[in-house]
Amino acid sequence: MKSLRRFVARLFNFATRRAQEERLREEIAEHIALQTDENLRVGLPPIEARRQAMLKFGGVEAMKQDFRAERGLLFIENLMQDVRFAIRSLRRTSGLTAFVVITLALGIGMTSAMFSMVDALIFRPYPVPHPGGVVTLASTTHDSNLDNFSYREYLDIRDKTKSYEGVIANADMQAVGFSAEPGAPPRVRGGMMVSGNYFHVLAVEPRLGRGFREEEDQVSGRDAVVVLGPNFWKHEFSSDPGVLGRTIRLNGTDFTVIGVAPETFPGMLIFGQPDFYMPMAMARVFSTNLRKNFFEDRDDRELNVKARLKPGTTLQQARNELAVLARNFESEYPKFNRSRGAAVYTQFETRTREDLNWKFGVIFVILALAVLLVACTNVAGLLLSRARARTREIAIRLAIGAGRFRLIRLLLTESLILASLGGLAGIAIGYGIVEWFHSKDSIVFATDLPVAVPFRMDTRILLVSLGLSVLSALLCGLAPALQTTRADLVNGLKSADVDVPGRKRLWGRNVLVVAQVSISLMLLTASFLMARSFQHSLLEGTSFTKEHLLMVNFDPRLVHYNAVQTKQFYKLLAERARSAPGVLSEALTQNVPLGVFDDFEGIAFVPDGLQMPRDRENFTSTMDTVDEGYFQTMEIPILRGRGFLASDTADAPRVAVVNEQLAKHYWPSGDALGKRIRLDSPAGTPVEIVGVAQTIKYQSTFEKPMDFMYMPLAQHPAARMDLMLRSSGDPLQLVQSVKDIVHTLDPNLPMLRTTAYEDLYLNQAVKGPGIAIQMVGTMGAVGLLLAVAGLYGLVAYNVSRRTREIGIRMALGALSSDVLHLVMGKGLLLVGIGTVIGLAMGFAVEQLMNSMLFNAGGVDIVAYIIVVPLLFLITMLAAYVPARRASRIAPTQALRYE
């Protein structure tokens, strides 16, 4: 109670401290006056009387200190003093301050931008209430630990598990033909099939209307209802609340809008925001796989299953339960579930298993942290030099009784202010980078599907940035502060600069030089390697034609064609397009290489005559359905055998073309040509391999060479196809002829996504990775620039501080060449050590990146050949310039030089 009262009084005093100071002065004056009067009365002479009075009163300043300490919040007062002092002294050296702030800002800005990326890819929780309880259930196989479940499997999981409040499922977001009015031509939008309990289990309250009811997901094809995504509602319907109850047409079927998801729920995906959600019971309208029955086939695995854990149920319990269920599946349905397990993942586990994205993120953050480290080393070096120059000031402060702790606090306050300024500027830079991403948004993802750049600055990123600032302040400021206050008082008072060469204290700066060299070398190695392997990825496996190709997407399901009609349509379309004026060649394909949101089918097969491993039913490969013009039109070389022919009709023996990767994979010694495979199982339909095509990139620029198989359209029908037409000139000139052809075939059939393939390819496969290359390159360049600037400053400073020593040496008869030799030898030694460490670290990073991302091949010699000499050159220059100057000035001057 008493202490609380004291605290309140102190707070009050803190506010009124000026008046208090005045009062104390008056009281002291009064006290001394009274004592002087007394002394006068006992007969002392006036001057002596006053002197005695003051002696008796004791040390006024020390008392005042006590008084102040008693009076107010000493800590805050001192802090404010420190801050004022620090700002004053930083202002005095504004050039250096600016440099330090910019350096830190670059480091912090890059790191926070990169962290915002990793945050989006890994850490940001699902946009639902209590996101921690939402887990992902995955099917696991030899090849994948994050496989999907089939509809039947989902139902079993939903009904037979007890660990969850609810189990939900969704298919991948897919291209859906959307028209707002039944009559309007359809446009491609992104829709997602979800289970009826999706919104309910995720606890997402629709902003308008309602979510799905459970019964709307029970009868196949009965309830054509749709829930709109918030952005889609805003852009497509201008946030019109009257949209409820309206009919929209999806893939040619009328759906009733029943609700709109809230702004807070952009969806569960990282990159995509579904435009609308449909119940899974409507799968017939959306399912892409014509050969499988979504509702019945246990191996039609299209569903991503998530669940909300019951409170009190542990992850381990859920895992055990699902493992038992997976074993039951295995024994009940050996045909579909042999050696197939199941796993429960938390959000973090899911994201770190999902794909390469997070690995990229992690590598970027490591690079950014390296930049930050370089920045900090720079700043530490600068602050150290600055502190050196203030040796005398510090020595005087120590001499008149400032405590070491107080001085260290003062110096730390300075670096904290620097770091805060740097942090603020860094946040601005981070914002800039994130905004830049957003501005690239439309370029990178030129697609009809709703793709969003998920990186953004939020409070968590800001906190991280601020944390980084404080960390860097401590990192940069502590060592100089400690060193400075350890200075030798006597020497410090005698000269402005106490350093005597050869003293132990020098090693601090030497370590900085070595660290600069090695980190920048590592950074450079990493960015060189990444940039080079990106470039490599861009070139490799992309030798097919991209120019003069028009692509038009068709989906006859939109006008309710059956299989026969579809087949007939494509047959006629191909024939007429081939003979249209200006068309050099024609192709139909289900997917284009490196297209946007391609939907490659998988195919299960057993090579004839191959002994299957005991725990495997079949092998799988990705595949594409193409017509006989494909290889020629795309200029994908057939290495052996043949491509497809018009004679490969539905009635002819089944044939396939495999890529070289697959051929080598399964027939490493012999030729795959003429070999047979059977679909699904050893008893399945036989298919003969009639050709081996060159391996290209199929899905993404960064993929490793993968197994791939082509099937002829006539034998393996598909609904959604791309027509590719090669022209001699601008491919878009062919659009009108295609329009005419389609019009004669069926005026109602929409032409979806009509573009030049080259545009699509550039956007998808070149510009996106290009941004990654730019980012890595920028980080490498900034890191090197900072390191070089820091290195130069540090070495030059070290040498210039030896001016006096050099003067003495010259006075004693040393030649300037001796001096240069001496000074530069030292610098080169340091750079040499740094280089060795940097090379070792660089190798380690290369190993890491090769194992994480892609094998970019061995060590990048070129990078070293460029960078190492550069660093040596800069060090030599940095040592040479001040040494030269020092060796030229007259010894008398040098001796006086401070």
Partner 1 sequence: MKQKTDVLQGTLALMVLKTLDVLGPQHGYGMARRIEQISGDVLAVNQGTLYPVLLKLEQEGAVVSEWGASENNRRARFYRLTREGRKQLQVETQDWEQTAAIIARFFEVKTEDLS
Binding site for partner 1 (CB under 8 A): 2, 5-6, 9-10, 13, 23-24, 26-28, 30-31, 33-35, 37-38, 55-60, 62-63, 66-67, 69-71
- Distance between CA 526 and CA 519 in Å, rounded? 10
Burial 701-736 (b: 16+ CB within 10 A, else e): bbeebbbbbbbbbbbbbbbbbbbbbbbeeebeebbe
Q: Do the Cβ atoms of 784 and 531 come closer than 8 Å?
A: no
Q: Tell the smallest beta-carbon distance from residue 439 to partner 1 (Å).
A: 59
Query: Of 564, 544, 556, which is closest to residue 724 (Cα–Cα)?
Result: 544
User: CA torsion, points 30, 36, 39, 40, in degrees to nearest 10?
Assistant: -120
Q: Tell the smallest beta-carbon distance from residue 29 to partner 1 (Å).
A: 9
Q: Decide: residue 563, CB within 10 A, 0-12 exposed, 13-18 middle, 19+ buried.
A: exposed
Nearest 5°: phi and psi at 481?
A: -60, -45
Collapsed DSSP state (helix, strand, coil) of residue 566: helix
Q: Tell the smallest beta-carbon distance from residue 411 to partner 1 (Å).
A: 26
Q: Tell the smallest beta-carbon distance from residue 7 to partner 1 (Å).
A: 9
Q: Do the Cβ atoms of 624 and 718 come closer than 8 Å?
A: no
Residue number with CB closer to partner 1 (23 or 460) = 23
- Distance between CA 659 and CA 671 in Å, rounded? 12
Nearest 5°: phi and psi at 702?
A: -100, 10
User: Which amino acid is residue 230, in one-letter code?
Assistant: P
| Chain centroid to CA 560 | 43
- Distance between CA 176 and CA 288 in Å, rounded? 11
Q: Tell the smallest beta-carbon distance from residue 407 to partner 1 (Å).
A: 21
Residue number with CB closer to partner 1 (61 or 898) = 61
Q: Tell the smallest beta-carbon distance from residue 867 to partner 1 (Å).
A: 58
Q: Tell the smallest beta-carbon distance from residue 52 to partner 1 (Å).
A: 11
Residue number with CB closer to partner 1 (6 or 404) = 6
Residue number with CB closer to partner 1 (23 or 486) = 23
- Distance between CA 590 and CA 599 in Å, rounded? 8
Residue number with CB closer to partner 1 (71 or 249) = 71
Residue number with CB closer to partner 1 (71 or 392) = 71
- Distance between CA 155 and CA 274 in Å, rounded? 24
Q: Tell the smallest beta-carbon distance from residue 80 to partner 1 (Å).
A: 21
Q: Name the CA radius of gyration of the chain, rounded.
A: 37
Q: Tell the smallest beta-carbon distance from residue 898 to partner 1 (Å).
A: 39
Residue number with CB closer to partner 1 (55 or 683) = 55
Residue number with CB closer to partner 1 (35 or 251) = 35
Q: Which residues pair with 250 in a beta bridge?
A: 178, 253
| Nearby residues of 326 by Cβ (< 8 Å), 6 or more positions away | 139, 337, 340, 341, 342
Identify the DSSP state of 182.
Answer: T
Q: Tell the smallest beta-carbon distance from residue 53 to partner 1 (Å).
A: 9
Residue number with CB closer to partner 1 (54 or 96) = 54
Q: Tell the smallest beta-carbon distance from residue 377 to partner 1 (Å).
A: 41
- Distance between CA 791 and CA 885 in Å, rounded? 19
Nearest 5°: phi and psi at 838?
A: -60, -40
Q: Decide: residue 155, CB within 10 A, 0-12 exposed, 13-18 middle, 19+ buried.
A: middle
C-alpha separations of 93 from 81, 89, 803 in Å: 19, 7, 22
Query: Of 683, 753, 895, which is closest to residue 185 (Cα–Cα)?
Result: 753
Residue number with CB closer to partner 1 (32 or 270) = 32
Q: Tell the smallest beta-carbon distance from residue 47 to partner 1 (Å).
A: 19
- Distance between CA 629 and CA 703 in Å, rounded? 26
Residue number with CB closer to partner 1 (29 or 184) = 29
Residue number with CB closer to partner 1 (88 or 405) = 405
Residue number with CB closer to partner 1 (23 or 130) = 23
Q: Tell the smallest beta-carbon distance from residue 9 to partner 1 (Å).
A: 4
**Most distant CA pair in the chain, distance:** 137
Identify the DSSP state of 451.
Answer: B
- Distance between CA 104 and CA 99 in Å, rounded? 9
Q: Tell the smallest beta-carbon distance from residue 461 to partner 1 (Å).
A: 44
Residue number with CB closer to partner 1 (32 or 735) = 32
- DSSP per position, 629-685: THHHHHT--EEEE----TT--TTSPPEEEEEHHHHHHH-SSS--TT-EEEESSTTS-
Q: Do the Cβ atoms of 806 and 850 come closer than 8 Å?
A: no
Residue number with CB closer to partner 1 (57 or 507) = 57
Q: Tell the smallest beta-carbon distance from residue 45 to partner 1 (Å).
A: 20
Residue number with CB closer to partner 1 (34 or 645) = 34
C-alpha separations of 819 from 163, 587, 738 in Å: 78, 75, 81
| Nearby residues of 89 by Cβ (< 8 Å), 6 or more positions away | 414
User: CA torsion, points 731, 732, 737, 742, in degrees to nearest 10?
Assistant: 110
C-alpha separations of 594 from 455, 591, 720 in Å: 24, 9, 17
- Distance between CA 850 and CA 857 in Å, rounded? 8
Residue number with CB closer to partner 1 (67 or 600) = 67
Q: Tell the smallest beta-carbon distance from residue 309 to partner 1 (Å).
A: 55
Q: Tell the smallest beta-carbon distance from residue 71 to partner 1 (Å).
A: 6
